[in-house]
Structure 1
Amino acid sequence: MTHRVFIVQDRESAQFLFPDCGDVGLTAWINEAGLFESEEAAIETAFVHCTEGFIVFEFIEDDPL
């Protein structure tokens, strides 16, 4: 089975958001990006942490066995 996940990229720095000790950090590596379970959560977080705009990417991820 699969489900949708979302990743946020900051337009100004081109870095990706990821969880960092209860806050949000930035990483240059997409494999370290945080996965959001809903598009709404991704957008709400991006509004707070990406002041110059952002891009939300949608991916399909396999559920763990």
Structure 2
Amino acid sequence: MNTGGMPLVNPHMLVLLVCPLTRGAVVYDAERHELISPQAGLAYPVREGVPIMLVEEARRTSEGEF
């Protein structure tokens, strides 16, 4: 749960996470509660503060979305 404007995902954990498809960096989108992989064009959901880093759970991002 987001309290006091703090991010739902631990920022220290973010530097360790990579896209499972490309092994590239992901960027946290706090507004959508997603981790975006620009290289793969995928957005991984964050549910209750837990990143779901499964390609099957990711949605395709639209061109120019990120």
Q: TM-score, normalised by structure 2?
A: 0.31
Structure with greater proportional strand content? 1
Between 1 and 2, higher relative CO (CA 8 Å, sep ≥ 6) is seen in: 1
Structure with greater proportional helix content? 1
Q: TM-score, normalised by structure 1?
A: 0.31
